[in-house]
Amino acid sequence: MATSVLLLDEQTIQHLGEIYHEAIHQIPPHAHYQLKLPSLSVTAYKSGKVVLQGTAVDKFIQKHDLTALTSTKKTNYDTNGLPEGFSNWSVIGSDEVGTGSYFGPLTVACAFVPKNLIKELQQLGVKDSKNLTDVQIQEIVPKIKALIPYKLLTLWPEKYNEVQQTKNLNEMKALLHNQAIKRLYQQINPDLLQAILIDEFCSPSNYYRYLGDQSAPLKSITYFKTKGESHHIAVAAASMIARDAFLEGLKTLSKEYGYPLLSGANASVDELASNILEYDGMELLSKVAKLHFANTQKAIDLVK
């Protein structure tokens, strides 16, 4: 799918809106309109920027003689397959926490970091949550939240176990990431956004296949990278927000059900799960744990 960004005058934007009035799909924030045409999406922003996405981009430009007004810039890519200078762009980063822990929720967070706030986040100590202690994360996250826009989604174990009956883990993650990104995109000024970076947990083709008929905002400027936090601080910020929410989720469940729930999936977790099974049964375990993990069978064996 091709993408072109045009800089058009107000008269041209209004003229196109009149021609394709019946094709106006919606009016995104800070935009005049968004057109849904065959094989083409046209979003006209009040700044004069017009984003065309689809397979009919060139045809549309030629038809309306817009070539002379096109703002073109050849993009060079670094060895990681990201545009040069990407770490200094204004980016939405997205990450999740909880997929390797038997107890507790699955949390997905995305954060928008405009380039003018990158240094300030670095000074706060924002980096990959795996390189920080839980105490450090819980100290820094409130400062992150006060500084930048973000969205957080929490899938609690009881709902997780229900959804897992029909969707695999990567499918659940894809749907949550996409939902969080869409909500955050509606909250920010789209003129500032240069890219979206998702910490890669499956191939891009599978990610979009999992979304099914759900729309995915700005697919053409969405990138997937493992260890995404090393490529942009937005992913690191999202990772920390998600980790903080996961820890709070463990604390909430521990308090509600009276067991000191542990992070991870080790032998100590098996022992705790077996105690929950023995005294309160599978019904309670399903409210605090992800039952499809091998830990469930280990806990059952321990009870026997």
- The closest of 280, 276, 170, 279 to 295, measured between CA atoms, is 276
State the residue for tokens 């956004």. Answer: 193
What is the chain's pLDDT, residue by residue, as a tens digit (304 residues)?
677 788 887 878 888 988 898 899 888 888 899 999 998 999 988 888 888 888 888 888 888 877 544 444 446 777 778 888 999 999 999 999 999 999 999 999 999 999 999 999 999 999 877 889 999 999 999 999 999 999 999 999 999 999 999 999 999 999 999 999 999 998 998 889 999 999 999 999 999 999 998 888 678 789 999 999 999 999 999 999 999 999 999 999 999 999 999 999 999 999 999 999 999 999 999 999 999 999 999 999 999 8
Amino acid letter, residue 197: L
Find residue 107's DSSP bridge partners.
97, 154
Here the tokens at position 52 are 């065309």
Distance CA 230, CA 22 (A): 45
The pTM of the full predicted model, rounded to 2 decimals, is: 0.78
> Which sign does the torsion angle of CA 196, 202, 208, 212 carry?
negative
Single out the residue of 191, 203, 202, 188 nearest to residue 234, CA to CA.
Answer: 188
CB 99 within 8 A of CB 169: yes
Ordered domains of the chain (ranges, CATH): 2-69 (3.30.310.10), 88-251 (3.30.420.10), 258-303 (no CATH)
Question: Contact at 8 Å (CB) between 231 and 197?
Answer: yes
Q: How far apart are CA 145 and CA 247, in angstroms?
A: 16
